[in-house]
Structure 1
């Protein structure tokens, strides 16, 4: 027979073990700065740990849920970078005179090309992207296995860094595109496009070419890859998959809850039946045959009932 405290304990365990499912229909909550940290890790993985070469561009692999983007790493001596610069690092031409703060002996320049993820991580309401968003970030090269490293403060005090976009969307006549620059602190700045497809910057960050939506006819966006986001939520697509996961999670949760309620109901019925059986036994015990009471002096004591067979003395057998 299960006691009431045990019943309450079982009830508590059942309900605390029921899993909860969070709806995945909400948009991704991580920021572009978190993306920078992830891409830094994948860019550093592309550099060989045994005798890495200086001045060689190493193309890295991005996670499967960022298909359509690319990342690269370039390891340089800071003295050589300041004296000579570096031209032809993807879209970036880095001039001489570059300085970094704090000073390090070697620097790794990480390149980002967000491709069809540009509008996801760098949304710009009222504008259309004509080019992918590309980025250039500087890190200390002392730890090639480091993750989540802070960026160096990279600046071009003399000549600006040039970003040369090779291809972007064709625009109607009379429409003027502009360069948009995103710094590492959330700032956004617009500059004129140079020579039709060139942007300039004096510090590290992300750059793209955009046009106002009101001045250009709508251009269909490239299809986004329906992948899950980096850290396990939904990132830029995959709405059908999220809805399917929500339904599966809700069905599992409903099934577990229904099974728990059935178990609780069975235990409750058994407990009620046991309680009633005990009460009946107590009532039967209390309703036993009462003894006769006789007065003995001033007290009343129970006495046995008279026997049905009257005793016969031995002398009565003598005739």
Structure 2
């Protein structure tokens, strides 16, 4: 990150303009409010550009450069009062010397970041050259497919996870049903083995249940005879 400050008289700024770094400010640019002196703050955010600024669905291919004018005085380099640049003729030119590699068939787009967080797009006037009508922060961006790819990949993994989870749940339910049936059959076999060691009973079926059936036998009555002793 680099920051530079240039202090000059507003009359000189209006007559000659200023050419500093990547910014070329033409003549006849009026700074407001009207003061005797002014200071211009130049910023190069470098590798910190994406930390301070972000363009949704776009990727920055150049650092963010800023030009911010402030009022100045003989005793103070920068006052707290910001100034506006009123351009009446040619616009400010911004030359981006270092542009990161990007797809050859994609043309970068100029972006201005407003003080209120707004983002304004415009086309380059020349290769890696943007024009500005006011002070602010500027950079170059290209459309990004990263977010779309990530979203698509996320959807695929979400669907795949849902299918795997559903199939796993079905398999668990089937295994539980089989275990219940096996346990039930073992219990019935155990009862049958126990019954084989006792008196055999006939069996009959009610639905899927096998139940014992006792034969109907009645004890025949026996007449008891008492010996009668006569005297």
Same fold (TM over 0.5): yes
1:85 matched residue in structure 2: 17
Q: TM-score, normalised by structure 1?
A: 0.44
| Change beyond 3 A, Cα 1:139–1:175 | same
1:163 matched residue in structure 2: 94
Contact in 2 for aligned 1:157/1:202 (Cα 8 Å): no
**Equivalent in 60, 67, 76 of residue 144 of structure 1:** 76
1:124 matched residue in structure 2: 55
Larger-gyration structure (1/2):
2
| Change beyond 3 A, Cα 1:146–1:93 | closer
| Change beyond 3 A, Cα 1:192–1:146 | closer
Residues 138-191 of structure 1, C-alpha deviations (whole Å, 9 max, x = no match): 0111152657x1311122221100000111112222111100001223221001
Contact in 1 for aligned 2:70/2:78 (Cα 8 Å): no
1:294 matched residue in structure 2: none
Contact in 1 for aligned 2:72/2:78 (Cα 8 Å): no
Q: Which runs of 5+ in 2 are unaligned?
A: 150-231
Q: Which has the higher strand share?
A: 2
Shift of 1:92: 0.2
**Equivalent in 130, 143, 153 of residue 199 of structure 1:** 130
State the SS of the aligned residue for 1:119: helix
Shift of 1:76: 1.4
Distance 2:104 2:46 in 1: 25
Q: Higher mean Cα deviation, 93-102 or 182-191? A: 182-191
Residues 104-147 of structure 1, C-alpha deviations (whole Å, 9 max, x = no match): 11110000111111111111121111000000000111152657
Distance 1:82 1:70 in 2: 26
In the TM superposition, structure 1's runs of 4+ consecutive aligned residues that sit over 3 Å from their partners are none
Contact in 1 for aligned 2:97/2:128 (Cα 8 Å): yes
Q: How many residues align?
A: 146
Contact in 1 for aligned 2:40/2:68 (Cα 8 Å): yes
Distance 2:121 2:90 in 1: 18
Is structure 2 residue 106 aligned with structure 1 residue 175? yes
Distance 1:174 1:132 in 2: 21
| Change beyond 3 A, Cα 1:86–1:146 | closer
1:1-319 equivalences under 5 Å are: 69-87=1-19, 89-142=20-73, 143-144=75-76, 149-214=80-145
Q: Which runs of 5+ in 1 are unaligned?
A: 1-68, 219-319
